[in-house]
Amino acid sequence: MAEEQIQNSPETQVEYTEKNIIHLNDMEHVRTRPGMYIGKLGDGSQSDDGIYVLLKEIIDNSIDEFKMNAGKRIEVDIVDDKRVSVRDYGRGIPQGKLIEAVSKLNTGGKYDSKAFKKSVGLNGVGAKAVNALSTRFEVRSYRDGKVRTAVFERGNLVSDVTADSSDESGTAISFEPDDTIFTNFAFQPAIVETMLRNYTYLNTGLIIMYNGRRILSRNGLVDLLSDRMTSEALYPIVHLKGEDIEIAFTHTNQYGEEYYSFVNGQHTTQGGTHQSAFKEHIARTIKEFFNKPFESSDIRSGMVAAIAINVEEPVFESQTKVKLGSTTMSPNGGMSLNKFVGDFIKTEADNFLHRNPETADIMQQKILDSEKERKAIAGVTKLARERAKKVNMHNRKLRDCRFHLNDVKGEQGEESCIFITEGDSASGSITKSRDVNTQAVFSLRGKPLNSFGLTKKVVYENEEFNLLQAALNIEDGLEGLRYNKVIVATADVDGMHIRLLMITFFLQFFPDLIKKGHVYILQTPLFRVRNKKKSIKGYKAENFPDADPHSDFITTYCYSEEERLDAIRRLSPNPEITRFKGLGEISPDEFRHFIGKDMRLEHVSLQKNDAVMELLEFYMGKNTMERQNFIIDNLVIEEDKPEEEDEY
């Protein structure tokens, strides 16, 4: 009662008057709440960072022109990893509505499904968000011998000129993301190229020129799988196309399942109703073809597949469009999406298997091998599941978070992560420092087992692996993944070894976790450099942008020897330097700075040209002497440091 009186006392009430009611125009609203329109911001180091959403929104409009048979070439140029220009040769934005089309929300040509029947962007937001979140945004529309050019700065129109032009029709847009919103950002060429290649896989005949280099695909989803697979296909990729649907699949000897799904050209990285329909019906069709009581998990084990469909006015679960929610093929109560996908697979995949008995034989042998392995570990699996469920009820190894990827839609679910760390000190520091809403902690007990060359039986027999698999909820595939980021948080020499052991585990049994971009390495500082004799107030704050704002004295954290030397130069002589030997040496108060919104993460990626098995064999195999000789042959002895550096 006393607490209620305090809360309602006049002293604690906040004034609420007409002055508190404000109106934001469209551009102001986007700039004030950018996460509502593009998801997370980021600096460009991750493929889901906001600058790539901006790029995608512009390219999507050009792709829609291609889909309407208006322009087969798109030119994409990025200068200094910051300034973007996109030119298509479609019909060009109607010039009379050019300003509105790029500056007023809920304005666009895609509400009329006669003009854009199966478009990616339907809500009239994309280009407006790019405009609002750019320091400079320029749009040119070429139509009917004229070009209208409009220039905006942070969403405000500063120039509008119409002139004669002999250039081909189409739209050209250039922009530079606002560096006050996207701090220290840079477009990563590898991420951009992957995005552009996806567009060409889904639009055969489309030519994209990226900084002068030509990107195209002649075989659609077959090219996609060929470029992405890191294990050899057991039989030639099956490629089936129909009206508004295309699928491709094969089997490999890798563990797990691997899927790439698209709707109207949008890469749905979190799947959705179309991907679920594919998984259900491909297993059912294969089972019925062989007329044997195969388990769906055995049929899909080792499967690598892609599905692309076109849907009228698709419904996504967020503005970033990473998961399809549509249940029908059109918004007017058309055919069930599940039935559409199922009917196609039942007819085409069944016909293919009848016409290609050699492929069918190889497929059946793969299924039998998977079935044999599953039955061999059935007893262990059952006991392990029961143990994991029992332990998870009071699991001290897992300090969970409140918002999970699949439990909470939107930005909170997208920000969910789990830190995998080792030791009571490190896990204790992270646990005390973390955001309990989005950050979970899983504590390892010592170094995990080297799983290279072992079968999946070890996942259930080894308590650490069993509980980790249960915590991530990935036993039956990535659809149940509870965290968007799986972050290995270790330091020092032992930590590096643990990092390799964890990546080996994921590569062996859950490679799709890495391929889909969910695995990261936490970068923590090597040094703390601070001047305890003088307050930061005595320095120009702009000279120390990396200083800890919560410290009375200038304190900077350095992630490399170069950063350490730079910090020393900027401070007065003889600053205090601390070398962190492990995560346990970093206090919870300090750790809070390293796992916040600006935490440094290194993305663990996997490409086709990465010889995975060869790498694992060399680094994690039983060839100890070979590795030892390699180290001896390639040992580099550092020269003595100059005397002026030694004093530090």
User: How would you classify the pairing of strands 519-523 and 485-488?
Assistant: parallel
| Closest of 171, 316, 330 to residue 244, by C-alpha | 330
Say how many Å lie between the first and final Cα of the chain, rounded: 59
pLDDT, position 376: 86
Block residue for tokens 């072992």 = 454
Model-level pTM? 0.79
- Look at the chain and report how many structural domains it folds into: 3
Average pLDDT over residues 173-178: 96
Judge if 429 and 316 occupy the same domain.
no
- Asked if residue 550 belongs to a domain, the reply is no
Which pLDDT value is given to residue 5? 46
All residues at 6 or more sequence positions from 151 whose CB lies less than 8 Å from its CB, including other chains: 136, 137, 138, 157, 158, 159, 160
Residues 197 and 275 in one domain: no
Which stretches within 203-238 are classed as H helix? 221-228
Residue 366 falls inside a structural domain: yes
Among the listed residues 52, 38, 35, 66, the one whose alpha carbon sits nearest the alpha carbon of residue 265:
66
CA angle 593-444-556, nearest 5°? 20
Rounded to an integer, the average pLDDT of 131-158 is: 95
Q: Return d(Cα 149, Cα 99) in angstroms, integer.
A: 9
Instruction: Please count the other Cβ atoms lying within 10 Å of the Cβ belonging to residue 70.
Output: 16
Query: Rounded distance, CA 203 to CA 200, Å?
Result: 5
Average pLDDT, the chain: 84
In a domain, 596, yes or no: no
- Do the domain assignments include residue 179? yes
Q: Which of 343, 374, 405 is the last residue of a domain?
A: 374
Residue 556 confidence (pLDDT): 84
- Residue 378 one-letter amino acid: A
409 Cβ partners below 8 Å, 6+ apart? 317, 318
Q: What is the rounded distance in angstroms from the CA atom of residue 411 to the CA atom of residue 26?
A: 21
- 182: CATH: 3.30.565.10
- Is the domain of 366 the same as that of 404? no
Residues 354 and 211 in one domain: no
* Helix axes of 624-633 and 612-620: crossing angle, nearest 10 degrees: 90
Residue 281's pLDDT is 98
Alpha-carbon Rg for the chain, nearest whole angstrom, is 28
Q: Which of 107, 157, 109, 95 is nearest to 132 (CA)?
A: 157
Other CB atoms within 10 A of residue 175 CB: 25
Q: What are all long-range contacts of 64-68, with beta carbons under 8 Å and residues at least 24 apart?
A: 64/110, 64/116, 64/119, 64/120, 64/121, 65/90, 65/91, 65/170, 65/171, 66/90, 66/203, 66/206, 67/116, 67/118, 67/119, 67/203, 67/265, 68/115, 68/116
> Do residues 308 and 26 make contact, with C-beta atoms less than 8 angstroms apart?
no
Domain boundary among 215, 235, 264: 215
Q: Do 368 and 382 have their domain in common?
A: no
Which residue's structure tokens are 């492929």?
Answer: 359
Say whether both 255 and 209 belong to one domain: no
Q: Is residue 543 part of a domain?
A: no
Q: What is the pLDDT of residue 423?
A: 80
Question: What is the torsion angle, in degrees rounded to the nearest 10, for the CA atoms of residue 341, residue 346, residue 352 and residue 354?
Answer: 170
Instruction: Give a yes or no: residue 14 inside a domain.
Output: no
**Does 138 share its domain with 239?**
no
Domain boundary among 197, 215, 233: 215
Verify that 96 and 160 share a domain, yes or no. yes
* pLDDT reported for residue 215: 96
- What pLDDT, on the 0 to 100 scale, is given for residue 645? 41
Are 112 and 133 found together in one domain?
Answer: yes
Own/partner contacts of 18-26, CB < 8 Å, gap of 24 or more, are: 26/103, 26/104, 26/105, 26/128, 26/132, 26/155
**d(Cα 32, Cα 109) in Å, to the nearest integer?**
26
Say what the pLDDT of residue 112 is.
54
Q: Which of 409-413, 479-483, 578-582, 640-644 has the highest mean pLDDT?
A: 479-483
Sheet strands (E) in 499-646: 519-523, 527-535, 553-558, 576-579, 600-603
Residues 67/271/420/609 CA torsion (nearest 10 deg): -50
Task: Of 596, 600, 528, 522, give the one whose Cα is nearest residue 563.
Answer: 528
Answer yes or no: do 447 and 504 share one domain: yes
Q: What pLDDT is recorded for position 453?
A: 86
pLDDT tens-digit readout, 10-66: 555 667 565 655 555 667 777 877 777 777 788 888 888 889 989 998 998 898 889
> pLDDT above 70 covers what percent of the chain?
84
* pLDDT at residue 314, as a whole number: 87
User: What's the pLDDT tens digit per position in 149-168?
Assistant: 999 999 899 999 999 999 99
**Residues near 463 by Cβ (< 8 Å), separated by ≥ 6?**
387
Q: Could you tell me the two tokens for 489? A: 């948080």
Mean pLDDT of 479-505: 90
Give pLDDT, residue 446: 85
- Chain-centroid distance of CA 503 in Å reads 18
Interior angle at CA 192, CA 597 and CA 513, nearest 5: 60
Whether the CB-CB separation of 138 and 58 falls below 8 Å is answered with: no
Q: Is residue 329 part of a domain?
A: yes
| Residues facing 303 on adjacent strands | 251
Using the 8-state DSSP alphabet, how is residue 466 labeled? H
In the prediction, which pLDDT does 648 show? 32
Structural domain includes residue 551: no
Q: Which of 454, 445, 426 is nearest to 590 (CA)?
A: 426
Is the dihedral angle over the CA atoms 108, 187, 481, 582 positive or is it negative? Answer: negative
pLDDT digits (tens, 9 = 90+) for 182-225: 888 999 998 999 999 999 999 999 999 999 999 999 999 999 99
pLDDT in the model for residue 111: 47
Q: How confident is the model at residue 371 (pLDDT cuts 50, 70, 90)?
A: very high
Can you give the CATH number for the domain in which 227 is found?
A: 3.30.230.10
Task: Report the pLDDT value the prediction gives residue 37, as an integer from 0 to 100.
Answer: 75
Which range has the top average pLDDT, 41-45, 181-185, 276-280, 605-609?
276-280
Average pLDDT over residues 313-325: 78
Residue ranges making up the domain that contains 316: 221-374
Grade residue 521 by pLDDT with cuts at 50, 70 and 90. Answer: very high
Work out the average pLDDT over 316-341: 84
280 exposed, middle or buried (CB, 10 Å; 0-12, 13-18, 19+)? middle
Considering only CA atoms, which of 38, 33, 60 is closest in space to residue 51? 38
Co-location of 355 and 415 in the same domain: no
Residues 104 and 142 in one domain: yes
Q: Does the pLDDT at position 7 exceed 80?
A: no
